[in-house]
Every structure is written in structure tokens, then in C-alpha cells.
Amino acid sequence: MSNDSLDPRVNRLKLGNAGEAVRVEEGENWNSYEVFHQEKRGAHHEHVGCVHAPNRELALIFAKEQFARRKKCVNLWVVRSADILAFDVEDEDMFANNAEKNYRDASGFKVMEKINKYKQSKK
Amino acid sequence: MYGAGYIFDEPNRKPLPEQQDDPEKLAVFEARIARGEKIEPGDWMPAEYRRQLIRLIEQHAHSEIIGALPEGTWITRAPGFKRKLALIAKVQDEIGHGQLLYNAAETLGKSRETMINDLLSGKSKYSNVFNYPAKTWADVAVIGFLIDAAAIVNQVANSKGSYGPYCRALERICYEESFHLKQGHDAFIELATGTPAQRTMLQDALNRWWQPIMHFFGPPDKASSHSEKLMQWKVKMASNDDMRNQFLDMYVPKIWELGLTLPDPALKKNEETKKWEYTDPDWNEFFKVINGGGPCNEERLQVRKWAEENGRWVRKALMQPGDKKAFPVA
């Protein structure tokens, strides 16, 4: 390659031949870690994305660089993507609520009617 | 930065036949998208949807990484400490965006190493604008203002697409882009309202960048193939011409009001159709540059190769071959 870059730093690199193949080996970009971000004390940690890192200590450092550059952050968690266990997204119908589950909800219990009826009967 | 309307596909490549896909699953999938729901990594998806998304997100990621090079060139020569700090921050953001996007693409099953190898071998492309040199500081202002603005038009549209991980990455990216655009606009205005020499430098940069900017959103709709399915699947959110028109509508007045000119005598808004009219840029030049014939293609890839080769010993020293591996989950 002719040394005609506008960037003197590029010219100093003495770049190789354009035709030369460079291959990155599988695994050279390390492993994937999921990142959880806590915006303020007392808040939940929320999933914000992933970083690639060789180990969890470096994953934390990269996560700080990637996800805490601007917005407020007081803490970060990282966990290997391989260690996340999740339900199959295709099974999301199992979370559907049905009408008979109102025994689990506050709205499933109505007392005012009985109280009013009782008060009425005592008059 | 730096999504582009135009996403390179192998020439004459036919879409994967839909017959491979289970018609019942396809119907459920398309109904979900029509309802405005997102598709997540573990969902069933047509093979062609997966292929197109990988292509789109991967090339977007490469564009972020390569796009940092012409601007990075100017960090050491930025005029003043504040501009230097802002440029360092912007370039760091772009590299961060590249990583967010590589992760989003990985959820579809292509490893980051494979994507980087495809970039280095020339198999997969990046936004064509970065094959042009940033000759003066005014080029940095034009890139920071107008190319970031064009990219935002594209990215805001894409962030309403159908693939969850890509939308989430784009939301974060668009938030940071607003700073890029503002600092680019500020640098642009500084030159436009400066000395005659500064204005001349800016006008010269505008003249050189106008064609690449017009190329940015890709060939006209009439020349673009198989985009109907991609629009239905919400992979592509707006047509090339619509995005170009939106960009012209927002930014040409901002250039003209400063008394600067654009090198196209036919450029004007048709008040009846509300569409912009312009001379078609040279599309042969566009395809020549995409295929390696631009002024900086060789240098950009050579710098990437140098970085991969010279950083390898660090990456290898830290590798944990026994570690249980997985792609990002979301």
C-alpha cells in the first residue's frame, strides 16, 4: 500500500499488503456476558445488554465503559449468558391469566356489599 | 451514526424460497408483526427474515466501527480542548454502538468472529460514505452534522422495526446520537459563521460530501428489489426515497439559511407534491466504491486488519477455552 494516508498515525503503521488475509479464530472474541444496571440505590437491577469479555471481572469493567458512560448508575451486575435459564419464548401462553384466578387478586374480594347490607338490616 | 438505508446484498442473490417455511408458523409470525409485537431471539422466524436481519445489523455494526476511522484521524488535530474531548467521546460512542450491534446480530446465530472475518475479507460491507477521506476539519463538521443526521433518520425508523434486540440497541444508540448531532451542528455553525477562510473550507467540504450524502440512503426505489417483503416484516421501515426526502426536508433549509450552497442546481422542493427534486447522483460511482473502488476502501480495511493482528496476543492470552459459551440471550 502506498504511504499516502491523510492520517500520519496510519502512515506510521507500515500497513501490510491489501491482499493478505487475516482471520480471527472462533473464541478469540471471548464470551458473552449479560449486564444488569442499577440506576439508583433501592431500584432493581435491570437488564441493559451484553458485553464480550474473557472473565467476569473484565466483563464488569467493560460493562461500566459500555453502559455507564452517561446516565446515572450506582451499580452493575454481570452474568455469563450461558448461565441464564429462561422459559422458551414460544411457551408464553402459560403466563396468560384466566378469569378464575381472581381469588389471587384484591379485586376478587368484595366486602362493601355485605357491610352495607348488614348496616341496612340493623336500622 | 451510522445505519444506512442501503444494505449490500450479494449480487443476483435470490431470496430464500418461502416454501421452506412452515406456512402455519409463517402466518402466526406475520400476524404477530402486523399487530405491532416484537420478535425475540428464541421465536420461530422465516429463514429469509433471519438472513436479512443478520445482514442489516451486521453491516450497521461494521459501519459504526469503520465510521470511527475518518473521524478518529482528527482527534490529534481537533481545534481546541473542548472539541478534542467531544470528538474522543463521539468516537468512543461509535465503537460502543458497534459492540451493541454485534451483540444484537449474535442473538440471530452468527458469531462475532465470523462477522469480523467477513468484514476483513470484504464479503460483508459497511456504509459507503466511509470510503471517502476526511481532508480538513470542515469534513469532520460535515460528517458530524449531516451524516449523523442522515443516520438518525434511518435509525429512528429502524428502531420501530420488528426485531426486539435490534430495537433495544437502537434506542440506546439514538439517545447518544442526539449528542453527536448537536456537537456536529455546533462545529458546522462555528465554521459557517466564522472567517471567510473558514466558510470557504466548509463550502469545499460540503461540495465534496454532497454526492456521498445523496448516496447514503441507497438507490432510488424504482431500482430496489425485494423490499416489499422486508417492509411487511418490518425489517425495512421506510423506502430509500422516503428517507432521503425526509432528510432533505429537515436539513437543506438549515444549510441554505447560512448562505451556503449545495452542488446541485436542480435541488428544490416541489411545493405541490411536497417532495424534493434533485439530480440523480452517479449510481455507477456508488457501486464502484461499494465494490472496493473508493479512495479509502483499502486503507480502512488495512487499518482493521492491523488492529486485529496486533491485538491478537492480548485476546489470546486472556482466552478461556474451557469456558461454557453462549450467544447473548436478548
Q: What is the pLDDT of residues B195-208, one digit of tens each?
A: 999 999 999 999 99
Q: Do B323 and A31 touch (CB under 8 A)?
A: yes
Q: Do B329 and A49 touch (CB under 8 A)?
A: no
The shortest C-alpha distance from A120 to chain B (Å) reads 50
> What confidence score (pLDDT) does residue B2 get?
58
Instruction: List the one residue out of A55, A94, A101, A99 whose CA is nearest residue A78.
Output: A55
> What confidence score (pLDDT) does residue B24 get?
94
Q: Which of B6-10, B126-130, B259-263, B305-309 bottoms out in mean pLDDT, i.e. has the lowest?
A: B6-10
Nearest CB to A82 within list B172, B301, B324: B324
Residue in chain B nearest A64 by alpha carbon: B96
* Full-model pTM: 0.91
- What mean pLDDT is reported for chain B? 92
Which of the following CATH numbers is that of domain A30-122: 3.40.50.360, 3.10.20.520, 2.60.40.1120, 3.40.50.300? 3.10.20.520
Q: Where are the domains of chain B?
A: 26-318
Angle at which helices B240-256 and B148-158 pack, to 10 degrees? 140
Residue B330 pLDDT greater than 90, yes or no: no
Residue predicted with more confidence, A17 or B275: B275
Q: Do B99 and A65 touch (CB under 8 A)?
A: no
Q: Is residue B18 very low, low, confident or very high in pLDDT (cuts 50, 70, 90)?
A: low
> What confidence score (pLDDT) does residue A92 get?
86
CATH architecture for segment(s) B26-318:
Up-down Bundle (1.20)
Q: Where are the domains of chain A?
A: 30-122
Residue in chain B nearest A34 by alpha carbon: B328
What residues of B are in contact with residue A80 (Cβ under 8 Å)?
Answer: 323-324, 326
Instruction: List the one residue out of B122, B191, B214 whose CA is nearest residue A22.
Output: B122
Q: Which of A59-73, B82-96, B110-124, B316-330 bottoms out in mean pLDDT, i.e. has the lowest?
A: B316-330
Tell me what percent of chain B is helix, strand and coil, each rounded to the nearest 5. Answer: 65, 0, 35
* CA distance linking residue B141 with residue B190, whole number of Å: 9
* CA distance linking residue B91 with residue B89, whole number of Å: 6
Q: Which tens digit of pLDDT belongs to each residue from B32-66?
A: 999 999 999 999 999 999 999 999 999 999 999 99
* CA distance linking residue B1 with residue B97, whole number of Å: 8
Nearest CB to B42 within list A15, A80, A90: A90
Nearest CB to B320 within list A22, A29, A54: A54
Instruction: List the one residue out of B40, B30, B328, B36 whose CA is nearest residue B163.
Output: B40
